[in-house]
């Protein structure tokens, strides 16, 4: 599948390719161009030329394009989900949710296209001011492989509605569904050059986008180290940045919680998409009064998960996305056992056998008795491994939850409003869920504190971040 530059299919300038394989089988799926700085320059030229045409359209007209694109995505959602599972690995039911989620996001931004985006300021005898919001220009979105379709919606929806043009760099392991959706956006009426997709490695394509002087904003979702490099590279041109850099989300379960509901929340919160989600439950804190019962139920549920090819009916959890991911998870479990930093309650090894030998499968893993400074608790573990800590009270749970360099999300499971209030006030996180985890509707601002990044995705706040104010001062 080719890149999309200036509305047409494009190969890499140097005619090289990247192969995309199925993480469940190791089989070849397709190939995409290995883009370079030359290809980025061509995409920026196209986006720059298209900016005047797109930004001059009314916000309502831009919203109608997004709405039509959402309709086309819904019509094609089964094929898109099949492709997403094939390149990413997640169960087909999760891919269907993700594709529909992308349509939801585009519909949301279409729905707010008519809302006022400026203000009038009366200054008495000194005059009046009219403050409007104008688009930034050419923007770039660098997206990860874990939720590529949903995150494409998070970034493309507000960027395009605001009147910007956009260059999208997908992850090299999951570019195919992004390319298909970009074509659907064009089919919905997006003028050529408004949305360009350049495939290729982050160290070349991503770096070229960040350094390009005509790219006014970078929106990046990925790991902390890359986020810091992007911030450093972007400083020479004072670019606007949105950086969503992952997290190590705590889930706190108090003694008064609905235990069966909380068990289901922990199961889904950790093992959805094989744990490869920024806001997944990555640390579980259980009140000592319910810890034993909770672990008995959770262990049985985890051991009952059907792990396999995401395209197979009845699969609950698919493979990890790559051999590198499998290696990272295997390494952290080996380190944990070598250092005696936890007790494996269930799982703790790659899956073996003929059904798994060519894929990147790992068992759903629960670890108890985790040492306070173990890597399982201090680092972001991006896979199906859940460390569990027993706490005597809410104060201890909050202290443990805040013992992290991250601050993306957190959840508390309780029936007590005073507990909810204390967690909301004291836990460092961009979003606090109560009696749920993971859910992020398009209306809800999403982003973190500390090392989890800067800026917000979703909602009107994300739309604002793709604009800048411009003031007309009337000195009557």
Residues with catalytic roles: 244, 278
Q: Are 106 and 139 in contact (CB under 8 A)?
A: no
Q: Are 241 and 454 in contact (CB under 8 A)?
A: yes
Q: Are 50 and 44 in contact (CB under 8 A)?
A: no
Q: Are 451 and 405 in contact (CB under 8 A)?
A: yes
Q: CA dihedral defined by 166, 172, 174, 177, rounded to 10 degrees?
A: 40
Ramachandran area for residue 127 (φ above 0: left; ψ -120 to 50: alpha; else beta): left
Q: Residue 238, class by beta-carbon neighbours within 10 Å (0-12 exposed, 13-18 middle, 19+ buried)?
A: exposed
**CA–CA separation, 270 and 276 (whole Å):** 8
* Contacts by 412-418, CB closer than 8 A, 24 or more apart: 412/251, 412/252, 412/254, 413/251, 413/252, 413/253, 413/254, 413/257, 413/258, 413/261, 413/262, 413/265, 414/254, 414/256, 414/257, 415/256, 415/257, 415/258, 416/254, 416/256
C-alpha dist (Å) from residue 80 to 50, 98, 103, 168, 337: 27, 10, 12, 18, 41
Q: Residue 199, class by beta-carbon neighbours within 10 Å (0-12 exposed, 13-18 middle, 19+ buried)?
A: buried
Please say whether the dihedral angle defined by the alpha carbons of residues 58, 60, 61 and 65, taken in this order, is positive or negative: positive
Ramachandran area for residue 15 (φ above 0: left; ψ -120 to 50: alpha; else beta): left
Please say whether the dihedral angle defined by the alpha carbons of residues 450, 367, 332 and 311, taken in this order, is positive or negative: negative
**How many residues does the structure list for the chain?**
476
Closest to 166 (Cα-Cα) out of 211, 200, 216: 216
Closest to 410 (Cα-Cα) out of 372, 381, 452: 452
Q: What are phi and psi of 128, to 5 degrees?
A: -140, 155
Q: Are 258 and 415 in contact (CB under 8 A)?
A: yes
Q: CA dihedral defined by 86, 88, 90, 94, rounded to 10 degrees?
A: -90
């Amino acid at each position: 599948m080719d890149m999309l530059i200036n509305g047409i299919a494009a190969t890499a300038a140097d005619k090289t390719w990247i192969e995309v394989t199925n993480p469940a089988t190791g089989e070849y799926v397709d190939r995409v161009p290995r883009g370079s700085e030359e290809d980025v320059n061509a995409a920026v030229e196209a986006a720059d030329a298209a900016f005047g045409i797109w930004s001059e359209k009314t916000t309502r007209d831009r919203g109608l394009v997004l709405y039509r694109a959402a309709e086309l995505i819904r019509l094609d959602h089964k094929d898109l989900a099949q492709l997403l599972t094939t390149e990413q690995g997640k169960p087909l039911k999760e891919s269907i949710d993700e594709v529909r989620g992308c349509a939801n996001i585009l519909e949301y931004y279409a729905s707010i296209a008519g809302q006022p985006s400026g203000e009038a300021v009366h200054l008495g005898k000194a005059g009046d001011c009219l403050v409007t919001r104008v688009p930034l220009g050419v923007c770039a979105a660098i997206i990860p492989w874990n939720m590529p379709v949903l995150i494409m919606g998070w970034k493309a929806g507000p960027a395009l509605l605001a009147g910007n043009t956009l260059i999208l760099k997908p992850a090299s392991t999951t570019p195919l569904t992004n390319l298909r959706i970009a074509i659907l956006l064009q089919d919905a009426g997006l003028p050529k050059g408004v949305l360009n997709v350049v495939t290729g490695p982050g160290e070349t394509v991503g770096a070229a986008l960040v350094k390009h002087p005509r790219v006014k904003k970078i929106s990046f979702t990925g790991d902390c180290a890359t986020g810091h490099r992007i911030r450093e590279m972007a400083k020479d041109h004072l670019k606007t940045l949105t950086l969503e850099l992952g997290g190590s989300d705590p889930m706190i379960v108090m003694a008064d919680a609905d235990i069966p509901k909380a068990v289901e929340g922990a199961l889904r919160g950790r093992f959805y998409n094989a744990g490869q989600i920024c806001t997944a439950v990555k640390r579980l804190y259980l009140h000592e009064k319910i810890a034993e019962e909770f672990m008995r139920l959770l262990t049985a549920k985890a051991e009952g998960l059907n792990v396999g090819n995401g395209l197979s009916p009845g699969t609950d959890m698919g493979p990890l996305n790559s051999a590198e991911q499998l290696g990272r998870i295997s390494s952290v479990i080996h380190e944990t056992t070598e250092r005696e930093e936890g007790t494996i309650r269930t799982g703790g090894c790659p899956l073996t056998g003929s059904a798994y030998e060519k894929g990147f499968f790992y068992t759903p893993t629960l670890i108890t008795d985790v040492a306070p400074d173990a890597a399982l608790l201090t680092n972001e573990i991006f896979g199906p491994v859940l460390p569990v800590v027993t706490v005597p009270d809410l104060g201890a749970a909050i202290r443990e939850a805040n013992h992290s360099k991250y601050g993306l999300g957190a959840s508390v499971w309780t029936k007590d409003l005073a507990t909810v209030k204390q967690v909301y006030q004291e836990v460092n996180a961009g979003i606090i869920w109560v009696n749920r985890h993971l859910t992020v509707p398009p209306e809800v601002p999403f982003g973190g504190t500390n090392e989890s990044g800067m800026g917000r995705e979703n909602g009107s706040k994300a739309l604002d971040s793709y604009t800048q104010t411009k003031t007309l001062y009337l000195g009557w």
